[in-house]
């Protein structure tokens, strides 16, 4: 069965610090990869996605993620975080087969202090 | 405006009292899903639907029912709610098999006492 692991449960950073959130998945076939963000009290919004092609994908708000197939990883990065990036971040994987099951990681809470 | 709507947004109910959470999308999407979000567990899929009259179980279907009589609507039914179904529920829709991006509704916070 597919699974997604997010290494950090809670990350605390100061403004302007660099961010990297780890995500690993277990599935041997073709995958589609996503990072979603959930700001306090709001619904999930798509940050970025990877289907194929360039493994370095850029998303909204200065976020990017790199797909490393050999490591089954899709880590999220941002060079300089802002207080407004305080949110919960979810990595998700879809195995690309019929059906719509998105498998989510358990989430990483990011707290940015100003 | 393309969106997924859910109602109600907040609901407090008692054990055993049947309830329905509605979900509607205006994007003519074929695929729709329900998830529940619990602290430390992320989002887990309850049920999904590939099209009208086609539904299937997700990871945590026990205690829930769904129906898909129209393409735009995908209600979640709790026939006899229990306290362990207290959670935050999200409906999502997806454009089709070639489009794996899911659009999420605003969420329904359900408390069962």
Q: What is the pLDDT of residues A22-61, one digit of tens each?
A: 999 998 778 889 999 999 888 899 999 998 899 999 999 9
- Smallest CA-to-CA distance from B102 within A28, A90, A2, A10 is with A90
Chain A interface includes B88 (CB < 8 A)? no
pLDDT above 90 for A3: no
Q: Is the pLDDT of residue A98 over 60?
A: no
- Confirm if B49 and B74 have CB atoms less than 8 A apart: yes
What value does the mean pLDDT take over residues B70-97? 93
**pLDDT digit string (tens) for A72-97?**
999 999 999 999 999 999 999 987 65
Residue of B nearest to A1 (CA): B59
Question: CA–CA separation, B17 vs B4, rounded Å?
Answer: 26
Q: What is the pLDDT of residues B16-25, one digit of tens each?
A: 999 999 999 9
Strands A23-26, B76-78: parallel, antiparallel or unpaired by DSSP? Answer: unpaired
Distance from CA of B106 to the nearest CA of A (A): 5
Answer with the residue of higher pLDDT: B19 or B51.
Answer: B19
B48, B100, B104 ranked by CB distance to A32: nearest: B100
């Amino acid at each position: 069965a597919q699974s997604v692991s997010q290494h950090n449960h809670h990350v605390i950073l100061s403004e302007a610090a660099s961010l990297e959130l780890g995500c690993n998945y277990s599935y041997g076939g073709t995958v589609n990869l996503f990072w979603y963000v959930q700001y306090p009290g709001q619904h999930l919004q798509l940050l970025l996605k990877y289907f194929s092609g360039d493994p370095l994908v850029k998303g909204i708000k200065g976020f990017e993620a790199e797909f490393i197939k050999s490591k089954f990883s899709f880590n999220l990065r941002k060079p300089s975080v802002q207080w407004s990036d305080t949110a919960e971040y979810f990595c998700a994987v879809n195995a690309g087969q019929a059906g719509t099951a998105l498998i989510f990681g358990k989430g990483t809470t990011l707290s940015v202090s100003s | 405006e393309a969106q997924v709507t859910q109602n109600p947004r907040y609901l407090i109910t008692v054990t055993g009292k049947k309830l329905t959470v509605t979900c509607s999308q205006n994007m003519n999407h074929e695929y729709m899903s329900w998830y529940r979000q619990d602290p430390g567990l992320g989002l887990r899929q309850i049920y999904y639907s590939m099209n009208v009259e086609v539904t299937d179980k997700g990871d945590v279907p026990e205690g829930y029912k769904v129906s898909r009589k129209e393409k735009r609507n995908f209600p979640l039914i709790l026939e006899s709610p229990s306290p362990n179904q207290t959670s935050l529920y999200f409906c999502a829709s997806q454009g089709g098999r070639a489009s794996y991006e899911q659009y999420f509704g605003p969420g329904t916070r359900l408390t069962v006492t």
